[in-house]
Structure 1
Amino acid sequence: MTMAPGGATGRHYHPGQVLVIVESGTLTRVLHDGTVETTRAGCAFVEEGGPGHAHSGHNLGAVPVVLHVTYLVPAGCPLSIPVRSAERCN
């Protein structure tokens, strides 16, 4: 996944865990509790799944953020679900 400078994912959650490696740039995430986490190139993180772990991702830098993402979601579920959506996948 590549996010252009100034780009954002919108607030969403994943139906299962997501494993992420930041290849380049710096990703800033706003987590479900308002905590802000910044992950730089060469680092990795795990996002927990479910509506209680809604978050958004932002590229506040001047270069594209390139992510390698592995989604561990149940079969038949979307990779992410916008928070504004009433849709759920269990």
Structure 2
Amino acid sequence: MLAAVVAATTVGTAGAAQATPPGPGVSGTVIAQHTVGGTDYVLREITIPPGQATGWHYHDGALYATVRQGALSHFDATCARDGYYPRGSFIYEPAGADEVHIGINRGRTPIVLEVLYVLPTGSPLSQDAPNPGCPFE
């Protein structure tokens, strides 16, 4: 499956002064990366330890993921939980600066995601964003 062959992580690095970086121990490993035409396909495994989060961010292209372990709580810029994804779930994150979100591990086991990024060539995996005013990280 293409999504399982070309994915990346929701993990970004701190950029702007108000950006929210990922929590301690959040990590990602690139499994495969290919460029076809003007599109980069990056497959990545992401691990989010218990109690940690991805940091607020968005993507310049679509993201497709499966939850291999744990359960991800996903929140949008209105502070609403727009998804809860237990093991075996499929996650879709649309592209664009108006799609700011955060993923949080509120469980007791690490979350392991297999993520496929479908990005315009040369785009970063994610763009940092400030906390939109939500009382959690």
TM value normalised by structure 2: 0.59
Q: Distance in 1 between matches of 2:120 and 2:57?
A: 17
Flag structure 1 segments of 5+ consecutive residues without an equivalent.
85-90
Deviation at 1:35, TM superposition (A): 2.4
Q: Secondary structure at the match of 2:98?
A: helix
Q: Secondary structure at the match of 2:120?
A: coil
Residue 88 (structure 1) aligns with: none
Give the one of 62, 67, 78 matched to 1:17.
62
Aligned residue pairs total 84
Calculate the aligned-residue CA RMSD, in Å: 0.9
Q: Secondary structure at the match of 1:21?
A: strand
Moved over 2 A (4+): 32-35
Q: Give CA-to-partner distance per residue, 1:18-73, whole Å, 9 cap, x none.
A: 00100110000111333202100011021001110000010000000000000001
2:58 counterpart letter in structure 1: Y
Give the one of 25, 32, 53 matched to 1:8.
53
Q: Distance in 2 between matches of 1:10 and 1:51?
A: 15
Residue 40 (structure 1) aligns with: 86
Q: Percent identity?
A: 36
Q: Distance in 2 between matches of 1:33 and 1:16?
A: 21
Q: Does 1:49 align with 2:95?
A: yes
TM value normalised by structure 1: 0.89
Higher relative contact order (CA 8 A, sep 6+): 1
2:99 counterpart letter in structure 1: H
Residue 116 (structure 2) aligns with: 70
